[in-house]
Structure 1
Amino acid sequence: MACCEFPAVAEGCDGAFTVDSSRITFGRGCLAEVGERAAALGMRRVALFSDVDVAGLAVFAVARDSLLAAGLDVVGYTDVHVEPTDVSFADAARFAQEAQPDGYVSLGGGSVIDTCKAANLFASYPADLLTYVNAPIGEAKPIPGPLKPHIACPTTAGTGSEVTGIAIFDLLSLAAKTGIASHALRPTEALVDPDCTATLPAGVVAAAGLDVLSHALESYTARPYVHRPAPARPSLRPMSQGANPWSDLGCREALRVLGQNLETAVHDAADSAAREQMMWAATLAGIAFGNAGVHAPHGMAYAVAGLVRDFHPSGYPPGEPLVPHGMSVIVNAPAVFRFTAQVSPQRHLEAARLLGADADDADLDDAGEVLAAELIRIMRAVHIPNGLSGVGYTESDITALTEGAFPQQRLLQNAPREMTKPVLAELFRNALRYW
C-alpha cells in the first residue's frame, strides 16, 4: 500500500515513520565472512555466543575458524538457554563482564542472538535486569549509549532477531515472557547464510516458519503508523511504529514466499531451495516487524510459553517443558485475526491470498474467516498442535493466560482493535481448539 493509501494522520498522531535495520549480507556460504567482517568493525577480542547443540555442528567450526583466521582472540560462550530466562541472561552478562570482549558474534536461533544482545547491554551498562525491561513489567529506562559491535548469524529461519532491537526472555517470577526493546540492541551486522538451516528438524522448521508468518501478518495488520500518538521528540519514536509503507513491502513479499515454500521446507529437508527461500522470508519479515511491530498473537504467546507445564515438542532437545516461540504464537493467530478483520478486511483478505488461499471471490465480511481458515490449513499441514488444547491448556487456564498476556502492552497497543482483559479472555477461549 502506498503512502497516499494510508489513512490521514489522526489528531495528535505521528505523520512520519523511521526505517532501521542491521547491515545484512545474505547468501550461501557467507558465514565464512564473519572473521573479516569482525576485524573490519575493530574487534580484536570476540565473544562467540552459541548453544550447546549448535556448538557441535559444522557451522560453529566455520565461524570460529573464520574468526581465528582473521587473527582475532575468540572466547566462546555456549551455555545459552533455549528460551532464555532472567537467570540465563544474568549468567551470560557475568560471562561478558569477565571476558571483556570488544565485540560479539552470535551464532544460533533467536535465543542465542537475544542472549548475546543482553550480555552486550549489561556488560556495557551494568544495572538491575528490570532497568531496561519494557513497562509495565520493568522500568523501561533508555539504554545510556551505544553498545559494542555485534554480528548476528542466524541458524533458523524464523525469529528475525538478527535485524531487530528486541531481546525476549522468561521472567521466572511471573511465569511469563517479557523483553527489552531498544534501537541500541539491534545487531551491527547480520550474516544470513541459508546453509545454516540444512540440518534443522522438521518440527523446528515448522515452528520457526510460523513465527515468520506471524511477524509478517501481524505487522501488515497492525495499527497504522498515522494512528500512533506522536512522540514528545523524534528520538522517542518507538520501533513498534505500526503498519507503514516500508514494512508493508516486506510483509507482503514474506507472506508470498512463505506461502509457496513453508510446507516443502518442513517436509523435504533435501529441498535446499525451499529452505533458502524461508531464510529470505524470515529476513524480510524481520526487517518489517522491526519497524512496524507485532501485536496480539505475540502478546498472547508470551503467556502461552511462560505457563507451559508438560508439553514437549517434536524436533527439540528433550528436557524442560517447552512451547517453541513460533508455536506459541500461531496457536493464537486464527482466533485473533477473526477478531481484527473488521478493521481492515482488505488487508486480511490480501494476506490470505498471498499465503495461497483461493479468496478472489470472497466477501469482505468474510475476511477474518477466510484468513483463519488458511492459517488452520497451514497449521495442520505442518503438524502444529490443535490450538491451546494441543499444548496442554484447558478452559480453566483462561484467567491465568489472560493475566499473563495483559502486561504485554508494548505489543497489545499495536493491535488494530483494543485488547482489554475480557477481549483477551475470549480470544484465548476461541483459541483452545480449531478442528
Structure 2
Amino acid sequence: MSNVLQSETIYTYAAPRLKIGPGASAEVGADLAAMGAHRILVVTDPGVARSGGPQRVADQLTQHGLEAAVYDRAHVEPTDDSLAAAVAWAREHGPWDGFVAVGGGSSIDTAKAINLLTTNSGELMDYVNAPVGGQAPAQPLKPLVAVPTTTGTGSESTTICVLDVLSQQVKTGISHAALRPTLAVVDPDLTISQPAGVTACSGMDILCHALESYTARPYTAYPKKAPHERVPYCGANPIADMWAEKALTLLAGSFRSAVRDGRDAAARYEMALAATFAGFGFGNAGVHIPHANAYPIAGRVKSFHPVGYPQDEPMIPHGMSVSLTAPAAFRFTFDASPDRHLRAAELLAPDAPKTPDARDQLPSVLIALMRDIGIPNGIGAVGYTDADIPDLVDGSLKQQRLLTTAPRDVSADDLTAIFQASGALW
C-alpha cells in the first residue's frame, strides 16, 4: 500500500429544516406537536422575555395540547457559569422531550447546552472542545426548535455552542453535529425591535461568517479521512460558497439600511435571510482567523460597554469582537486566494473604488462599512493596548480548531502582526 498522503475528495453538507417568513414563529406549536413532543422548555434571556415573545410561544404550545415552561435567565454572551446554572435548573425541573430557543445566539446556545446535558451524563466542561474536554454525546438529543430574534449568529443552523470560560478568560465552544437544531424558524418580524447597535454587531457576525467560510482552506487541502473522522467544519466547498456569496449580496443591499432604520421591513427580511444563509455556509465550511481572535478579545474585556446592550457588566459583543481584526486578517490571507478576496469585496461593495494594492480592497470595503454603522475603531477603542497583545495572541492560539481552517498557516508572529495592525483601523 502506498504511503503517499491522499487529499480529501469528499465533503459533507448538513443543515436544519428551515421555516422562514413573516409570521413563521406563530406556527411553532404546530411544528412541535407534529414531532410528537409533549413537555417543552422555552429558553430565552431576560431582555427578550420582556418583549413577551417567548411567553406567546409558550402559550401557542399549550394551545396545541403541549405542556410548556419558560426559562428566561440565559446570559447574553453565555459563560460556563451561566450555562451550568441553566443546565442545573433544567435537570431539576425536567424531564423534557423538546426545546424551543427564542432569542439571539446566546439563547440558542444555552438551549443547545441544556439539550446536551439533560440527555447525556457529565458536566459542561467534559464536552468543551479538546484539549479541555472533547467528549462526544453518547445519547441522542431531543428536538430543538431555534427561533432567532437577532440577525447574525447563525446559531439556528450550526453545530456550535459558544461560551466564555471565566477562569481562563477565553471564549471556546462545544462542537458536535448532534447540537444542530432540528428546525430553524426565521421570522423577520421578531427582529424589528433590535437596537441599531445590536443590528450592527450581529450583522458583522453574518459578514465575517460569510467571508471566513468563503476564504477558508478548501476541503481538498485536507488529508483523506475515514467517514467517521470527518468533522462539520470541512473547509471551503461549492455548496458553502454558494450560501456565502448569496449572503454577501444580501448584505450589500440591506446592512446599512437595517442599522439606519430598524423599521425597514425589507432590510430586516434580507438580513434574516443573510444570517441564515451565512450560517448554512460557515456551519459546514468553518471560520478562521477573525473568529479565533474574537474569543480572547471578548473573553478578556476590561471596561467596555457597547451601545444597545445590557449595561450591568462590561462586554464586547461577539460580532464586534470578530470584526475588529477582520481587515488585517483578510489582508494576511489575501495571497492564499486573491480571486476569492476580490470577488467577496465586489459582492459586498460593487461600486467601491479600486485600491492601488489589491490586497487592500477587501479590508478597505470592510473599514468603510464599519465606520458607517458605528463599529469601534479597532481593538484600541475597546480598551486594549500593545501591552495586551501577547495575551490576546495566546488566547487566539488556543483556538486551533478555527486556525486550522485558515487558508494560510498562522504563527504567533502572524497573529501578533494582525493584532498590532488592528489597534486603530482608520
TM-score (norm: length of structure 2): 0.97
Q: Equivalent residue for 1:54?
A: 48
Aligned to 1:263: 256
Does residue 86 of structure 2 align to residue 92 of structure 1? yes
Gaps of 5+ in 2: none
* Preserved CA contact (<8 Å) 1:103 1:149: yes
Question: What amino acid is the match of 1:415?
Answer: A
The equivalent position to 1:354 in structure 2, one of 344, 347, 353, is 347
| Paired residue secondary structure (2:321) | helix
Identity score, percent: 48
The 2-side partners of 1:69 and 1:153 are apart by 18
SS at match of 1:342: helix
Give yes or no for the alignment of 1:314 onto 2:307.
Answer: yes
Give the equivalent residue in structure 2 for 1:75.
69
1:429 maps to 420
Residue 41 (structure 1) shift? 1.2
Q: Does 1:129 align with 2:124?
A: yes
CA contact (8 A) 1:96 1:120 kept: no
SS at match of 2:311: coil
Trace 1:153-302 onto structure 2 (pairs within 5 A). Answer: 153-231=147-225, 233-302=226-295
Letter in 2 for 1:255: L
Is the 1:260–1:356 Cα contact (8 Å) retained in structure 2?
A: no
Q: Tell me, what secondary structure is at the counterpart of 1:60? A: helix
The letter for the 2-side match of 1:431 is S
Which of these residues, 312, 318, 325, is aligned with residue 318 of structure 2? 325
Structure 1 residues 289 and 75, CA gap change in structure 2 (3 angstroms): same
Cα RMSD for the two superposed structures:
1.3
List per-residue Cα deviations over 1:35-80 (Å, max 9, x = no partner).
Answer: 0111111110001000111111142233122111111111111010
Q: Deviation string for 1:276-324 (max 9, x for gaps)?
A: 1000000000010001000000000000000000000001111110100
Deviations 1:348-392 (A, max 9, x none): 0000000114468667xx332010000000000001000101111
Amino acid in the other structure paired with 2:400: Q
| 1:371 counterpart = 2:362 | yes
Partners of 2:250 and 2:274 within 8 A in 1: yes
Amino acid at match of 2:98: G
Q: Which runs of 5+ in 1 are unaligned?
A: 1-9
Residue of structure 2 aligned with 1:401, choices 392, 400, 414: 392
Deviation by residue 1:205-259 (Cα, 9 ceiling, x = unmatched): 000000000000000000000012222x212211111100000000001001101
Paired amino acid for 1:382: I
CA distance, structure 1, for counterparts of residue 231 and residue 139 of structure 2: 16
The residue that corresponds to 2:113 in the other structure is: 118
Q: How many residues are aligned here?
A: 422
3-state SS of the aligned residue for 1:270? coil
CA distance in 1, matches of 2:5, 2:289: 25
Match of 1:4? none
Task: Compute the displacement of 1:29 (Å).
Answer: 0.2
Distance 1:133 1:51 in 2: 22
CA apart distance, 1:140: 1.0
| 8 Å CA contact retained: 1:248, 1:288 | yes
Normalising by the residue count of structure 1, what TM-score does the alignment of the two structures yield?
Answer: 0.95
Structure 1 counterpart SS, 2:335: coil
